Amino acid sequence: MEHYVGGDYQAVPPASPAGPRPYNSPPLPNRGDEQQLRQEQQQYHRQQYQHQQHLQHTTPSPRAAPRRVRPTRRLRAVALASLTTALFSLRRPLKDYEGAEYSSIPLQAMPSAAAHAMSAVNPTPSSAHLPHATSSPSFSTFVSGDSGGHYFTGPPSPPSASQPPAQHLSPPGAFHAPVYGGSRVQRRKTMRNIQLTKGHLVVDAPVPDGVLQNAGIKTGEEFTHLRYTAATCDPNDFVAQNYTLRSAMYGRHTELFVVMTMYNEDDELFCKTMSAVTKNIAHLCTRTKSRTWGENGWQKAVVCIVADGRKKIHPRVLTCLAAMGVYQDGIAKNTVNGKEVTAHIYEYTTQIVIDRDLTIRGQDRGTVPVQVVFCLKEQNKKKLNSHRWFFNAFGPVVNPNVCVLLDVGTRPTGTSIYHLWKAFDRDPLIAGACGEIAADLGRGWSNLLNPLVATQNFEYK
């Protein structure tokens, strides 16, 4: 008699009528008591089940089916292994040590399976392509053209007859990835060494071609280059630490110094004030019979814009300043020689005006050059600190005759600044003057329907 146990057949001896029955013997078919027979059958099946469980835990069954792994778990395992390999690549340098010299290792195409796994990992390109003075074992790099990641294996093996030769690839240019091929590195942003001027960072950056296209004067460094200075001092120490401005470098006499303080005003308010100031400077250039002003009167006027906080200024204001050539993104620095920058100073003589309705006007619309000093403070330190930069830092360098203070959002009329200056020119004993403040009533006094404007008009009048 044979019966099935744990996947194998084995012989079972017959039961003895006198002695106890074996452990795994089948039940006796002929018994008078059916209830006892049923109990013995249940006990027998229970013993058989326990015996099978014991065999499964002690010896593996040869016919047991392999455990099925879910595809999601398999992908997670592959992605985790690829991520571990990528992180390992950032710590281990890539090199081929041969005595006292280093030799570059050609790049090979990543296998399809590895490329699929690496599509979920895109590490930042490291400096592993550069030689290092260590003696760890060499590695070969496989770069995927899709993901741009790194896949490290052991030392490269020579190609066999059944294996095609390796295809040399270069990583994609996204994210400024370096081109691996020896010790040469290519990046999208060019790096250059800048010599400090008297210990200060001063950069002359060329303005975009679109700015010069709308300009009437296209020659001269003040029209073709933007000057950036990173100030690392307090406003009171600006002159003592040998900082300077362009107007002082050119030896020009400044008769009028206008400051526009701002916080987080939008581009419409900024352009309204800036265009009005530009029209006032253009009016000074039309007074040809004046002993002070004339055709080149713009050289005697400087406009200073002080923004209270780099993180507080409206981004569209920076866009307008960039369209005028007064601002460029990407050249500012946070520290210079370990010192934190307190103010970013941009200088440019612009010939572009952006009207209140955000239309650009160039030399063909009767504009004149305007010397602009844009001071972007690193931190928000309130309006009093902005005036300290104007009076204590820039004032002694420019040495103006008359200073005019404005807030962004205030629009002076076409001759307001001239009449303010004329009051000081007539009487040298005058120390201060103030113009009349009027509410913007709009066309046909339509803004008086606004209760706030009507209240302001009543207060000012």
Give the whole-number percent of the chain exceeding pLDDT 70: 63
Q: Is the pLDDT of residue 50 over 50?
A: yes
Provide the pLDDT confidence category of residue 74 given band limits of 50, 70 and 90: low
Domain ranges of the chain: 2-58, 73-155+168-176, 201-431
Spatial distance between the Cα atoms of 197 and 181, rounded to a whole number of angstroms: 37
Q: Residues with Cβ < 8 Å from 281, sequence gap 6 or more?
A: 297, 298, 301, 303, 368, 370, 417
Least confident of 42-56, 310-324, 344-358, 403-417: 42-56
Q: Is the pLDDT of residue 225 over 60?
A: yes
pLDDT at 205: 93
Give the mean pLDDT of 425-451. 88
Give whichever of 71-85, 124-138, 198-212 has the largest mean pLDDT: 198-212
Spatial distance between the Cα atoms of 187 and 206, rounded to a whole number of angstroms: 20
Task: Dump pLDDT digits (tens) for 375-395.
Answer: 999 999 999 999 999 999 999
Provide the pLDDT confidence category of residue 206 given band limits of 50, 70 and 90: very high
Mean pLDDT of the chain: 74
pLDDT at 436: 84
Tell me the whole-structure pTM to 2 decimals. 0.59
Q: Is the pLDDT of residue 170 over 70?
A: no
pLDDT at 68: 55
